[in-house]
Amino acid sequence: MAGKCASAWLLSFLLFFLFVFCDADSGGEGGCTRNSSLVDFESEFVMVQHQLRGVFKVIDDCSFRVSKFDMIEGSDVQWWGALGDAFENLTAGFVISDEKLNRTYKGESFSVRLNNVTWDQIKVIAVWDEPTASDFGHVLLGNMRNNSASPLNSSAPGSYSAPLPSPSIGNNSSGGNSQLYEQPTMFDNCKILANNYRLRWTLNLEADLIDIGLEAAQGSEYYMAFGWAHPNSSNELMLHADVAVTGFTEEGTPFADDYFITRYSECLLSKDGSVEGVCPDTIYEGSDPIGLVNNTRLVYGHRIDGVSFIRYQRPLQSVDIKYDLPVDHTKNMTVIWALGLIRPPDVLRPYYLPQNHGGPPLVTHGHLTLNVSEHVNDCLGPLEAEGKEDEDLIFADEKTTLVVVAGPALHYPNPPNPSKVLYINEREAPVLRVERGVPVKFSIQAGHDVAFYITSDPVGGNATFRNMSETIYAGGPEAEGVPASPMDLVWAPARNTPDEVYYQSLYGQKMGWKVQLVDGGLSDMYNNSVVLDDEQVTLFWTLSDKSISIAARGEKKSGYLAVAFGSGMVNSFAYVGWIDETGKGRVNTYWIDGQEAAAVHPTRENLTHIRCKSEDGIITFEFTRPYYPSCVPGSRPECDNIIDPTTPLRVVWAMGARWSENRLSEANMHSTTSSRPVRVLLISGLAEAVEDLRPVLAVHGCMMFVAWGMMFPGGILAARYLKHLGNEWYQLHIYLQYSGLAIIVLGVLFAVAELRGFFFGSVHAKFGVAAIVLAFLQPLNASIRPEVTANGEVVSSKSTLRILWEYLHVVSGRCTLVVGFSALLSGMKHLGDRYGGQNVRELNWVMMIWFLMGSLLVMHLEYNEKRKRERSFLRSNLGLDNIDERDDSIDLLCSDDRTQEPCPSEGMEVELEPLSR
């Protein structure tokens, strides 16, 4: 019974094991099936950009594995699926996995799971940078190894594939580490020769070949050399060495030639025909029609991301025993390497001439012991060049016209690309480098189907069609033309234009390339500039509709630079630029309400387009801010920091040795500051130092106050309230008015002489001119006064013309006084804007008190006049007014020189007698 139970348990266990094993075999990772014909498909990535390498393998129906994966990071890199590797297919592709590749990969291995897609929907898997529509590398699915017609073809820009010199490449039979690679960028081994130089190789014993890859982050004008030293050399390893010299021609075509070194010099040809130096093997032996001497065979070459890569083959045992050294793959042998400039061929020496590498050992040249049979891989990650840009570069300036045409795509720098791209000055899709503020002229001749424009979108072709937003900086649908009728477009990049934009066609994607914006002179980027006080700081600015862009540059070395808006650093808004401990430029804003460090308060002002740099200790910083803060005035200090372009802006500056963002102390206080503020007129671009009130201008103000605040009002008061004095009121009126006019003339002459001219720009000047004109019209008005006599006799009633004139004279006089008062008030405001507010407030109070006293005086006199009229009316009602009196209260300018008798101001006195007499 126990045996039967044991048998039953054993049988159940076996059935369970078989079920689990079969399910695992059919389900793959994560429960995926393995029904697709692509399962176990394996290939290498085609390197297109960003030094991408790796091996791709399909695991099951919903995942794949990547191994030995190298890639320089991009901006937003995705796994991308497409129906083909053509431009139209790749740009119409789609994301196939949620896993992103937004970092640098260094020989890593990992699995990737597909997202809602099957293998039959994909023909190409690419590593795709979506914002720039860039293909970093891809794999053609179903392109089984050894079945492709040309396994070494590459779509990378600047790549070159030579015909294979042997039927197989990379077929390594040296040991268990071998792997068959079809892509020319993949090797079994990698050795670091220098920080910017790597050696890769794959041994092929069956074909008696070794494939060697040389990779260096350097310019295209440099060579890469590698070879074997003579076994008998001990000290001078370069002599009698067998090396391959590789590089790129001026046209960008790679080359690899076999050289033999007999002397540390260029290849020299003597008169007797002898040759010595670093010379090609063919120079020693003449031409090499069958490859017996020059047995180095170029396989592939490219320049991508600023990195030169050459792959070549050479036999292990060469037929040329005189200039080639045999390579024993079983032994440790000494190899040498070098980097340096290369001179192109000329008429006398039709071969490339490597120059002396110079430089320190292990940087530009070196040697090491190498056994090519041993597996070596100490190259961790991709080789990165400091300057990754390797495209044609055009420096655009104001004098050079950039001719834009369309042509075939040959070496477009950002694959994939259409068949037709833009050429500028006969260069295919070059990088343009433009200075901000410098106008650049384009002559557009690319055809009517190419609308040229400058955009923030790296793909172009009207981003709205791709549901993307873009900023257009120049050009558009109208920017099209042909050679017979070109269209000229002038673009002056603004100071706030991003560091990188793109020139593209509005009607086609990826026809153009990059525009790099660099800072030129600040005077080019800004419309206005002034030198602040003491000539140690220059202020630059440009006004726009709602904001102002400001830059400040010191003229001597300092740790920080500050400019502030106000009459001094105290009670001002300051902008401070400095370089922090990490070397990063910073710009912060502060409200300063005292002279100690604790009185410096950081603010949260809305600054944009901030830049700060230090060149040889000279600080320059830039920023853009709105005229009016977005917050409610009074809620925070910075909310009151308003810039009105129509109002002069007072600016002061300060410098010091060190600034700290969070730990301000007395040590951070400035060591140098401006002596006085400078008043900057933002609209006109002018500036002048804020000075103390000039004595002559003070005299001008006092004289105008005497004229408009004393003389003219006194003359009017005399005419209004002093009629009871007889003819004296008239004399006093005339004296005060003409004295006021004389004082006005002298005051104007003083101001014009001090300011060296007469200016009508200010409100004060406009009010002043109007008041002076009206004041001089009053005597002219008085000279045409109608008479109050007829045939030499005083009439009992005035004519209508006389009455109208008197009303006109009174009204115009009072209006003149109002305009004169306005000129005084605007003058006080102008005084405050020009010379600060420390004395203006006191002067304003004095003027207000004076006007108040004058108003009280007028009110008192009017009250007395009212009572006098009431008494006269009462006397008239009592029958006491039996004298024919003439009321001249309206006749303001009556004089005895116009009549035979004086003009009395009151009725004649009569002696009243009692009625009972």
At 801-817, the pLDDT tens digits run: 878 887 888 888 888 88
Q: Tokens 């925070």 label which residue?
A: 636
Contact 688, 580 (CB under 8 A): no
pLDDT at res. 247: 94
Average pLDDT for 208-219: 95
Contact 221, 355 (CB under 8 A): no
Average pLDDT, the chain: 82
Q: Is the pLDDT of residue 881 over 90?
A: no
SS3 for 607-652, per residue? CEEEEEEEECCEEEEEEEEECCCCCCECCEHHHHCCCCCCCCEEEE
Q: What is the pTM of this model?
A: 0.65
Q: Which of 167, 159, 186, 89 is nearest to 128 (CA)?
A: 89
Is residue 711 classed as helix, strand or coil in its secondary structure? helix
Q: At what angle do helices 712-721 and 728-755 cross, to 10 degrees?
A: 170
Identify the structural domains of the chain with CATH numbers, from first to last.
Answer: 42-140 (no CATH), 160-370 (2.60.40), 393-518 (2.60.40), 526-689 (2.60.40.1210), 695-784+801-857 (1.20.120.1770)
- The most confident of 499-508, 516-525, 687-696, 800-809, by mean pLDDT: 499-508
Alpha carbon distances (Å) from 622 to 522, 553, 609, 614, 642: 10, 9, 7, 12, 18
pLDDT at 144 over 60: no
Is 462's pLDDT higher than 70?
Answer: yes
Check residue 760 and give its pLDDT.
67
Find the angle CA(379)-CA(384)-CA(389) to the nearest 5 degrees: 155
**Res 23: pLDDT:** 44
**Residue 46: strand, helix, or coil:** strand
**Is residue 902 reached through a cis peptide bond, with omega within 30 degrees of 0 on the bond before it?**
no
SS3 784: coil
Burial class (CB in 10 A: 0-12, 13-18, 19+), 477: exposed
Determine the Cα–Cα distance for residues 689 and 334; give it in Å rounded to an integer: 75
Say if residue 14's pLDDT is above 50.
no
If residue 255 lies in a helix (H) or strand (E), which one and from where to where?
strand 254-261
Q: Please report which confidence band the pLDDT of residue 727 belongs to, taking 50, 70 and 90 as the band edges.
A: confident
Say if CB 510 and CB 134 are below 8 A apart.
no
Task: List, in order, residues 6 or more apart from 726 with CB less than 8 Å away.
Answer: 902, 904, 905
Question: Burial code of 661-679, b = ≥16 C-beta within 10 A, e = fewer?
Answer: eeebeeebebeebbebbbb
Where does the pLDDT of residue 477 fall: very low under 50, low under 70, confident under 90, or very high at 90 and above?
Answer: very high
Closest of 429, 352, 396 to residue 158, by C-alpha: 429
Task: Tell me what the mean pLDDT of segment 529-550 comes to.
Answer: 91
Give the count of beta carbons closer than 10 Å to the beta carbon of residue 108.
Answer: 15
| Percent over 90 (pLDDT), the chain | 44
More confident residue, 30 or 150: 30
Range of lowest pLDDT (164-173, 458-467, 728-737): 164-173
- The three-state secondary structure class of 465 is helix
Give the pLDDT of residue 153. Answer: 41
CA distance 108 to 689: 66
Q: What is the token pair recorded at 299? A: 């396989």
User: How far apart are alpha carbons 806 and 200 in whole angstroms?
Assistant: 111
Opening angle at CA 470, ends 464 and 475, nearest 5 = 95
Predicted confidence (pLDDT) at residue 369 exceeds the cutoff of 90: yes
Task: Assign 183 a pLDDT band (cuts: 50, 70, 90).
Answer: very high
Q: Is the pLDDT of residue 170 over 60?
A: no
Please give the Cα distance from 112 to 96 (Å, whole number).
Answer: 10
SS3 call for 66: strand
CB 289 within 8 A of CB 275: no
Higher pLDDT, 351 or 796: 351
Span 834-867, pLDDT tens digits: 555 556 677 778 888 888 888 888 888 888 878 8
β-pair type (452-455, 500-505): antiparallel
Give the tokens for residue 878. Answer: 């009592």
Question: In angstroms, rounded to a whole number, what is the distance separating the alpha carbons of residues 677 and 689?
Answer: 6
Structure tokens at 882: 């039996």
Give CA 314 to chain center in angstroms.
51
Highest mean pLDDT among 170-184, 200-214, 532-546, 823-837: 200-214
The residue behind tokens 């073809």 is 153
Q: Which pairing describes strands 222-228 and 268-269: parallel, antiparallel, or unpaired? A: unpaired
pLDDT over threshold 60, residue 10: no
Residues 210, 227: contact at Cβ < 8 Å?
A: no
pLDDT of residue 689: 65
How confident is residue 300, by pLDDT bands cut at 50, 70 and 90? very high
Question: DSSP 3-state assignment of 12?
Answer: helix
Contacts of 29 (CB under 8 A, 6+ apart): 59, 60, 63, 111
What's the first-to-final CA gap in the chain, in angstroms?
Answer: 175
The pLDDT of residue 137: 96
Q: What is the pLDDT of residue 21?
A: 40
Tell me how far apart the alpha carbons of residues 230 and 191 are, in angstroms, rounded to a whole number: 21
Give the C-alpha separation, 196 to 190, whole Å. Answer: 13
Least confident segment among 215-219, 287-291, 574-578, 819-823: 287-291
CA contacts within 13 A on the Cβ side of 127: 31
Using CA atoms, how far residue 264 sits from 112, 269, 345, 372, 374, in Å, is: 53, 14, 19, 27, 32
Please state, in angstroms and rounded to a whole number, the distance separating the CA atoms of residues 536 and 258.
62
Task: Report the pLDDT averaged over residues 321-344.
Answer: 91
Most confidently modeled range among 141-155, 610-624, 898-912? 610-624
